[in-house]
Chains A and B, each alone.
Chain A
């Protein structure tokens, strides 16, 4: 059974179709990179996986649980799926420690002490234990994104979704975030990553999905994708972003 199964998913905003018959799987332990030009629907697709974006047609299963079933306990499902956003989305009115413990206490029912211990473990892992009493606004973008990853990890997720985690960062901060993600991938975390960082894809991805205008144009192994992409659109895209 795949960890994430996306089956014929289509989505419309009114009459405008943003996703068309998207189908793919993410196996346990796999790292999938989703790329494509802006507006191609990659962010929308990844948000359908934990039902942040509703969709009108098709099915999505996470660990065998149907996401689009009205009877599914979405908060419970989402708590098991870690998500990292483009703009970090740490809670600005809470300290770093409170950001890390909120979900653990409110959703998983852990005691504040236990949540704190766990949170600090992951904060230490991303190298930011010294920042634990600060507010998000006092950290750099790269640091905030690492805290966001620690926040997601402290919920003990079965898989992680990354929605353009480095797109809002200054160039010199991108690597500190990618390093954390590479570490996670090497530990065997199941990851679905929307990114333009082809270096990251090359290093750890099992498969690369290329999207254009709401459809999955190419779903290939890393070697195939970088070696000989079949679609012309993917070739053009690669030529453009690998140019420099």
Chain B
């Protein structure tokens, strides 16, 4: 049975798969993780604020994003962002953001909701006395956050942040609905062109597995290494 398969197709397309596909997948994962963590941290700080006009919008945003399927959000942003952009700058025609930019924005905004929940738990894991100590030294809110609370929150949450990033890495494959050539998109194109669906999808699964599994293992190692000495 295995004789009917042609695994050489993988070797022949390796360059395309990784140079085009994987590069995009990793770029999108990296940008969305970076942006998501920054926005997520700000959202978490807003949610924990005692000002209702800061905490309520943040809570609403996080709940909205977490209650909608990612695929729907991708469509939404792709079709809506051009109109919203046009409305903001007052342009009569929709602003062309392009599929790639749209995917980066979408994943950043979507992941921010999840990262914010992680960062909220992280901020709350830092004892209240640490905040008092920061204030007592004369640090203001931003200094206390930036120098005292967030470094500890990040350190406590790195394993979970990375785990979420592994999920993000897998989820980026959904951009194929925007006809973007990410790793899975590239594999899919070759598979259909050469009629080698089984081989290519097996190979794609294997690559995702190896990368995700290795990263999970790294997370486990990190967990033991970075724990703050208390």
A binding-site residues for B, Cβ under 8 Å: 47, 50, 52, 74-76, 78-83, 85-87, 89-93, 102-103, 106-108, 135-138, 151-152, 155
Bound complex: CA of A157 vs CA of B47, how far in Å? Answer: 34
A79-B137, A85-B132 are known contacts. Are A102 and B147 too (CB-CB below 8 A)? yes
Q: Which residues of B contact A155 (CB under 8 A)?
A: 137-138
Bound complex: CA of A87 vs CA of B147, how far in Å? Answer: 19
**Number of residue pairs across A and B with beta carbons under 8 Å?**
75
**Quick one: closest B residue to A74, CB to CB?**
B135
A91-B148, A92-B228, A93-B152 are known contacts. Are A106 and B139 too (CB-CB below 8 A)? yes
With A89-B127, A107-B138 given, can you name 12 additional A-B contacts, CB distance below 8 Å? A74-B135, A75-B139, A78-B135, A80-B138, A83-B132, A86-B129, A87-B127, A91-B147, A91-B148, A93-B151, A103-B137, A136-B229
Describe B's contact surface by its main secondary structure.
helix
Bound complex: CA of A144 vs CA of B134, how far in Å? Answer: 16
Shortest CB distance A181–B (Å): 17
Pairs A–B under 8 Å by Cβ, sample size 18: A75-B135, A75-B139, A78-B136, A85-B132, A85-B136, A87-B129, A91-B133, A91-B147, A91-B148, A91-B152, A93-B152, A103-B137, A103-B138, A106-B139, A107-B138, A107-B143, A137-B228, A151-B137
Query: Using an 8 Å CB-CB cutoff, how does the interface string of B133-174 with A read, 1 for contact, 0 for none?
Result: 111111110010001100110010000000000000000000
Q: Which residues of A contact B96 (CB under 8 A)?
A: none
Q: Are A92 and B230 in contact (CB under 8 A)?
A: yes
Shortest CB distance A73–B (Å): 10
Q: Which residues of B contact A47 (CB under 8 A)?
A: 132
4 closest A-B pairs by beta carbon, nearest first, are A79-B138, A137-B229, A103-B137, A89-B133
Shortest CB distance B196–A (Å): 52
Q: Is B179 positioned at the interface, with any CB of A under 8 Å from its CB? A: no
Shortest CB distance A13–B (Å): 14
Q: Are A106 and B143 in contact (CB under 8 A)?
A: yes
A92-B228, A93-B152, A138-B229 are known contacts. Are A52 and B132 too (CB-CB below 8 A)? yes
Q: Are A85 and B147 in contact (CB under 8 A)?
A: no
Bound complex: CA of A107 vs CA of B133, how far in Å? Answer: 13
**Quick one: closest B residue to A47, CB to CB?**
B132
Q: Are B135 and A52 in contact (CB under 8 A)?
A: yes
Q: Are B138 and A75 in contact (CB under 8 A)?
A: yes
Shortest CB distance B187–A (Å): 43
A78-B137, A106-B147, A155-B138 are known contacts. Are A89 and B129 too (CB-CB below 8 A)? yes
**Quick one: closest B residue to A154, CB to CB?**
B137
Q: Which residues of A contact B138 (CB under 8 A)?
A: 75-76, 78-80, 103, 107-108, 155
Shortest CB distance A53–B (Å): 9
Q: Which residues of A contact B151 (CB under 8 A)?
A: 93
Q: Are B133 and A102 in contact (CB under 8 A)?
A: no
Q: Is B130 positioned at the interface, with any CB of A under 8 Å from its CB? A: yes
Q: Are B132 and A89 in contact (CB under 8 A)?
A: yes
Bound complex: CA of A92 vs CA of B228, how far in Å? Answer: 7
Bound complex: CA of A91 vs CA of B134, how far in Å? Answer: 9
Bound complex: CA of A81 vs CA of B132, how far in Å? Answer: 13
Q: Which residues of B contact A50 (CB under 8 A)?
A: 135-136
Q: Which residues of B contact A107 (CB under 8 A)?
A: 137-139, 143
Q: Which residues of A contact B147 (CB under 8 A)?
A: 91, 102, 106
Shortest CB distance B147–A (Å): 6
Q: Are B135 and A89 in contact (CB under 8 A)?
A: no
Q: Which residues of A contact B136 (CB under 8 A)?
A: 50, 52, 78, 81-83, 85, 152
Bound complex: CA of A52 vs CA of B133, how far in Å? Answer: 9
Q: Are B139 and A103 in contact (CB under 8 A)?
A: yes
Q: Which residues of A contact B127 (CB under 8 A)?
A: 87, 89
Bound complex: CA of A15 vs CA of B155, how far in Å? Answer: 38
**Quick one: closest A residue to B149, CB to CB?**
A91
Shortest CB distance B137–A (Å): 4
Q: Are A137 and B137 in contact (CB under 8 A)?
A: no
